[in-house]
Amino acid sequence: MANIKANITELRQLLDITPAGHNLMLVGNHGIGKSEILTSYFSQKGMTVVALFLGQMSDPGDLIGLPRKNEQTGKTDFMPPYWFPVDGKPVVLFLDELNRARPEILQTIMDLALNRRLAGRALPEGSRVIAAVNEGDQYQLTDLDPALVSRFNIVQFVPTAQEWLLWAKKAELDQRVIDFIQEDPIWLDKNPDAREGADTGLDKTPDRRAWKRVSDIIKLHHQLGGVFSKAISSIVGVKAAAAFLSSVSSRKILSGREVLSAFEKHRSTREG
């Protein structure tokens, strides 16, 4: 991949200087927070982000709306789809899974990317079109037409582990998850022992979204034996779970929540 790379800070800067009339394509793995970053950025500017998962659409009608007969003209037009901004306010269309879409869906996107129109209906002035695509042999992907690709500014989105750690602290993820990734950030997005191209699609591997789910499960529990090992393994994979639990076992650090909620129980641990 020869495209330029940008972390979260750089992506925000690129969005600041890129005109609304330019289309942007973010290239990256699943679970790295593309939609969350965009929603956060544009919500601060008072804009609504409409996420359309193109890989789930089976027909162009899912995107452009259903046809109907116009009784006044006798011609066929299309009812606006549920997401279309009929109030005239600009929106951000986030076209997720662009390279998982069916070819007939991609043909519809061509007009949207070039003319900001769908079935003859124009997006409000100031609207943005941002697409996201996955890369790698582990995904089942649709080849994109070079004519479509040429209508996008392409950025390989590579958020840093430090940026995720800052987010995790702000979001109050379990401190044990934060400490583990801080110690060994290679586990944040992948299993470092995995061979390239070895993913079958069913093998669980860690990603940023998965570590948030781990935090959700363990946050109120001090002891992580028994079924917790299986639960964590089901989220990030067996090897990542083993490395995480080993790190937790070696640390034996109590979270602030645990100390405050059960001070008497843990006082001997802290004084020992």
Per-residue confidence (pLDDT) for residue 183, from 0 to 100: 92
Give me the percent of the chain exceeding a pLDDT of 90: 35
Per-residue confidence (pLDDT) for residue 54, from 0 to 100: 87
122: tokens are 């124009």
32-88 confidence digits (pLDDT tens): 888 888 988 999 999 999 998 888 887 787 787 777 777 788 777 778 788 888 888
Is the model more confident about 159 or about 1? 159
**Nearest by Cα to 81 from 135, 71, 91:** 91
Q: How far apart are CA 258 and CA 260, in angstroms?
A: 6
Is the model more confident about 135 or about 109? 109
Overall average pLDDT of the 147-152 stretch: 87
232-248 confidence digits (pLDDT tens): 999 998 899 999 999 99
Burial of 168 (0-12, 13-18, 19+ CB in 10 A): buried
Average pLDDT, rounded, for the chain? 82
Per-residue confidence (pLDDT) for residue 272, from 0 to 100: 43
Q: How far apart are CA 24 and CA 62, in angstroms?
A: 22
Per-residue confidence (pLDDT) for residue 125, from 0 to 100: 92
Q: Identify whether the C-beta of residue 206 lies closer than 8 Å to the C-beta of residue 237.
A: yes
Beta bridge partners of 48: 91
201-235 confidence digits (pLDDT tens): 556 788 888 999 999 999 989 888 889 999 999 99
Per-residue confidence (pLDDT) for residue 13, from 0 to 100: 94
Overall average pLDDT of the 182-189 stretch: 90
Long-range contacts of 118-123, Cβ-Cβ distance < 8 Å, separation of 24 or more: 118/63, 118/64, 118/65, 118/84, 119/64, 119/65, 119/77, 119/78, 120/77, 120/78, 121/78, 121/80, 121/84, 123/85, 123/90, 123/91, 123/93
Q: How far apart are CA 258 and CA 38, in angstroms?
A: 34
State the maximum Cα–Cα separation within the chain, in Å, rounded to a whole number: 85
Per-residue confidence (pLDDT) for residue 192, from 0 to 100: 65
User: CA dist 217 to 6, 47, 79, 239, Å?
Assistant: 31, 33, 43, 18
Per-residue confidence (pLDDT) for residue 252, from 0 to 100: 63
Per-residue confidence (pLDDT) for residue 265, from 0 to 100: 44
**Where residue 90 falls among pLDDT bands split at 50, 70, 90?**
very high
Other CB atoms closer than 10 Å to residue 99's CB: what's the count? 22
Q: How far apart are CA 268 and CA 141, in angstroms?
A: 56
Cα 49 vs. chain centroid, distance in angstroms? 13
Per the listing, tokens 């390989």 go with 156
Alpha helices in the chain (DSSP H): 8-17, 34-43, 61-64, 103-115, 146-149, 161-170, 175-183, 208-218, 227-236, 238-251, 256-261, 263-271
For the cut 90, the answer to whether the pLDDT of residue 137 exceeds it is no
What are residue 48's phi and psi, to 5 degrees? Answer: -90, 135
Per-residue confidence (pLDDT) for residue 17, from 0 to 100: 93
